[in-house]
A and B are shown apart, each in its own frame.
Chain A
């Protein structure tokens, strides 16, 4: 951290976009939040997110950020407070992980149901029990149906860029939906990587604040009731509006990612394709796990295997069209996830959507789902290479795996998963 500060000071004179610092994911998020000049933050400490809260309060303490920080007594209150603050017209932020996200779960639906542009960072972490503070995506996948736009980050730079983009998306007059930006707990939250922050001026140029009152707010000069009883005669219509808002947010998300690339040289789409041009087998992944998959692809390519990868960056709204386009020509498709849907048709919730996206477009090909790395279990590149090889077996045999393969479980042969 001290290093990051020192470097930042040294480089203060350089043009904003070219300034490079070294920062952990947590600090990158805090910097982004500072740079977009939020008005209200309410964050309850939880590992591995807590440094975001620390850093933001430090910025406020040092007058680098003019914001109200609410030292809430729980995550439930954190989300309640930021939803209320957003409804009052403020630019807001919160961050959480794991149990904290579960504790505020009720409020996630209320944030989206009230159409409040809340932005949250989620340092993805396993869920209890047993208690585990390390990374997987159980928490993130638990909120997939809460009506939030969900953006996964692969590295520290993406975490920063995604947070800045999140404000532009969430507060866009055609969207007005909450956005969560994930960064893998510890793997990104606590890992120092090079970062090019935009700086406040540029971040605010990209995600400008809109005039007070452009969206409905709790305004005594224009009183409105927010959060009324959605009687059966109208609840259905209100929910359908939310569905439409989520569908239509795709345009703004796409524009935002493209515009970001135009201005700063780092383009963002719904998905990222890696070595997909001539790929014969592909794994679909997300978050920092995608970096490991890329490494596995590199290794396989050296062996002459035509492997490719598709990273899902925007998980909600789900990029079905983009994904299908990327995958339509491969021989076999696999998914690698760090979240479990117990008792599901397969246990990987990501696979269910990938398969549905393909099937609905008449594409049936050998498929397999893989789960590894629960609760911070290290995934090695060789494990992913093995998954690709398993996928190639399926491609050759023209069969799909009816059950999810669990890799990395001590004393367990993943092939046995198909027998039960």
Chain B
């Protein structure tokens, strides 16, 4: 299938053909599987995927099988962006010198998890963004090292239980807030940066499409609930995703050439409690701790509103 050319306004704009095969080993209710499915529908067949080690990589390619219908390359954990840079440079040279894929646009799509992006892959991502490679980089953020069994990463949010931020007498889950990967991307002045969420598929796909159409580096940071890692019910994947946006825990952003915009506005915010209480990883939180997270989110929302120059995310309204 060809890359998506038209804007995705309604879910009827989503193409029916599947460019990503089922039969993979991603968990029941895994958001990453859904994100890959939607992403591949946008980029179509003329895209080369470079993927970092992680859940999606191991679950989609058990030899002699692959879920990928595109050319796909996995090297290692920390070098997704470096590999993507190499593919992009090679395409440029092959097209220029030998006329391979003449008059065709072959997109390089880098995909990695939060650990492979926020932590171990940050250096190569920085290099790729700074050098201006024409690569769209998609990070599926399940907020911990889920592939190895739920260890905290730089993307783990404040208070979350993981196997390396256990809840005991001296530790109450993750002691630090999530790393600001968008801020890091912004500092590289790349042309397109967005946050996306699978509960809002048209918004997510439209962002994939814009990232695809960007000529130069783009980064789409996608929220990706992990049913076993977050201790949520399999059927709650989308529900949790939606609550993340409705509570202001996750803001749907788009920064085109440095100009920020909130793409999913939330006039009335739900209290973070509603988001936290349905997830086992936050079950231990006391009311006091929940209020601390609430204050953190309030400040974050205020910061976003100031930045975008409007009240894109409203105040908390208890129902």
Complex-state Cα separation, A82 to B79, whole angstroms? 12
CB distance from A160 to the nearest CB of B (A): 23
Which residue on A lies nearest to B68, using beta carbons?
A: A225
Within the complex, which residue of A70, A80, A89, A90 is in contact with B75, where a contact is CB–CB below 8 Å?
A: A80
Number of interface residues of B (CB under 8 A): 49
B304 within 8 A of A: no
Check B124 against A84 for contact (C-beta < 8 Å). no
B92 within 8 A of A: yes
Complex-state Cα separation, A373 to B216, whole angstroms? 49
A223 within 8 A of B: yes
Complex-state Cα separation, A66 to B130, whole angstroms? 23
Check A110 against B126 for contact (C-beta < 8 Å). no
A77-B124, A220-B47 given; A85·B89 CB < 8 A: yes
Complex-state Cα separation, A67 to B96, whole angstroms? 10
CB distance from A210 to the nearest CB of B (A): 11
Check B76 against A106 for contact (C-beta < 8 Å). yes
A68 within 8 A of B: yes
A77-B124, A223-B71, A228-B66 given; A88·B90 CB < 8 A: yes
Among A127-135, A143-151, A229-237, A391-399, the stretch in contact with B: A229-237
B48 within 8 A of A: yes
B98 within 8 A of A: yes
Check B79 against A88 for contact (C-beta < 8 Å). no
Contact with A along B83-102 (1 / 0, CB 8 A): 11111011111101110110
Chain A 76-119 residues near chain B, CB threshold 8 A: 76-78, 80-90, 92, 106-107, 110, 114
Contact with A along B193-216 (1 / 0, CB 8 A): 000000000000000000000000
A362 within 8 A of B: no
Check A229 against B76 for contact (C-beta < 8 Å). no
B265 within 8 A of A: no
Check B76 against A226 for contact (C-beta < 8 Å). no
Residues of B within 8 A of A (CB): 45-48, 50, 57-58, 61-66, 68-76, 78-79, 81-87, 89-94, 96-98, 100-101, 106, 123-124, 126-127, 130-131
User: Top 10 nearest A-B pairs by Cβ distance?
Assistant: A84-B86, A81-B86, A73-B127, A77-B82, A88-B90, A228-B61, A227-B74, A85-B90, A80-B79, A80-B82
For this complex, 24 residue pairs linking A to B, each with C-beta atoms less than 8 Å apart, are A42-B85, A68-B89, A70-B86, A73-B123, A73-B130, A74-B127, A77-B85, A77-B124, A77-B127, A78-B82, A84-B82, A86-B90, A89-B100, A90-B90, A90-B94, A110-B75, A114-B75, A220-B46, A220-B71, A223-B70, A225-B66, A225-B68, A228-B61, A229-B58
Residues of A within 8 A of B (CB): 39-40, 42, 66-68, 70-74, 76-78, 80-90, 92, 106-107, 110, 114, 212, 217-220, 222-231, 233-234, 238
Give 11 A-B pairs besides A212-B94, A212-B100 with Cβ atoms closer than 8 angstroms: A40-B89, A42-B86, A81-B86, A83-B83, A84-B83, A84-B85, A90-B94, A218-B71, A220-B48, A223-B45, A229-B57
